[in-house]
Amino acid sequence: MSLSDLQSEIRALLHERNAILLAHYYQREEVQEIADILGDSLALSIEAARTNADVIVFAGVHFMAESASIISPDKTVLLPHLGAGCPLADKITPASLAEARKKYPDAAVVTYINSSAEIKAHSDICCTSANAVKVVNSLTDARQILMIPDGNLARYTARFTDKEIIPWEGYCPFHHFVLPEEVARAKAEHPGALFIAHPECNEAVVAMADFVGSTSAMIEFCRKTDVREIIVGTEIGIMTPLKKQNPEKIFISPSESLVCQTMKLITLENILASLKTMTPVIKVPEAIRIPAKRALDRMLAVR
Ligand code: CIZ
């Protein structure tokens, strides 16, 4: 079947099932093209809660589908490929977090949204890469913050707070292994270009950036800037919305590392199969969902 036939069949089945397709910015272009909503993980989960659809097909990774299930427990959440996990989320377990809590009994635990529902359930509050600084500074009673599981985001956040930040030594392998030499080479090849970086990149790469921000912040930055060439330090899927929104601008990826293999496990074929079989379903059990939702709601209350 051709890509466009697959896309048409999916759209028809979405309609028949009263389902919506949510796609993350890091998804394949042909998946982004037919999504009802395109966004970062938090925006997608919030939109999922607002819709009247009965079924949410999540073209993203496991923790994102879990977030949708946490926020919308009455909807059926489908993740078309169960192998679509997040290597960063896997860098912490409930047992290792319990150990860290013992070691730092006074620390508040701030958990990046890229984490399992179970880890969120054991956290004080969640954050995203867009609101990490605000979330940390909102914790007026806490002097010490254990930031999990992304050490790079924790170190970046530490620059904007007086609190003591204890970074968890996890990382996203795709962002973390972008090399400063690769960025320097891209800058040399495109001397007029700006370099924008995601805070999951390592410290040396972040230090080279003209702008640091979450995927949504990067998209907004690229829309507003008058500079025509931009080197983009995040996963390659973001090039799809960037090019679509800014056809007159040139976007350059500095590194071959920036391809999230698990995001790419979601394909038109498995989205179609998932809609036909209504599997695999992601359902967070209530005992985990309720405390995890508390940590997410606490974050959403931060202004
Ligand atoms: O939260 C997300 O969607 C991710 C993975 C990154 C970002 O900056 O939006």
Local mean pLDDT, 10-residue blocks, the chain (303 residues): 96 98 98 97 87 96 96 96 98 98 98 98 96 97 98 98 98 98 98 98 98 97 98 98 98 97 98 98 98 96 90
Ligand 1: distance of its center to the CA of 302 in Å? 18
Our answer on whether the CB atom of 67 is closer than 6 Å to any ligand 1 atom is: no
Ligand 1: distance of its center to the CA of 9 in Å? 29
Q: What tokens were used for 281?
A: 């379903």
Our answer on whether the CB atom of 45 is closer than 6 Å to any ligand 1 atom is: no
pLDDT of residue 303: 82
pLDDT of residue 183: 98
The atom number, within ligand 1, closest to the CA of 39 reads 3
Count of C-beta atoms within a 10 Å radius of residue 303: 6
Atom 8 in ligand 1: which residue has the minimum CA distance?
Answer: 214
- From 38, 150, 215, 220, give the residue whose CB has the most ligand 1 atoms within 8 Å, as the site to mutate: 215
Ligand 1: distance of its center to the CA of 232 in Å? 14
Atom 1 in ligand 1: which residue has the minimum CA distance?
Answer: 41
- Establish whether the linkage from the previous residue to 149 is cis, with ω within 30° of 0: yes
Our answer on whether the CB atom of 116 is closer than 6 Å to any ligand 1 atom is: no
pLDDT of residue 210: 98
Count of C-beta atoms within a 10 Å radius of residue 191: 7
CB 60 within 8 A of CB 266: yes
pLDDT of residue 182: 98
Ligand 1: distance of its center to the CA of 127 in Å? 11
Question: Between the CA atoms of 9, 82, 295 and 73, what dihedral angle is there, to the nearest 10 degrees?
Answer: 50
Our answer on whether the CB atom of 114 is closer than 6 Å to any ligand 1 atom is: yes
CB 31 within 8 A of CB 59: yes
As a whole number of angstroms, the distance between CA 66 and CA 283 comes to: 7
| Residue 287 Ramachandran class (φ > 0 left, ψ -120 to 50 alpha, else beta) | alpha
Q: In what order do the strands lie in the sheet with 164-167?
A: 125-127, 108-112, 144-148, 164-167
Our answer on whether the CB atom of 27 is closer than 6 Å to any ligand 1 atom is: no
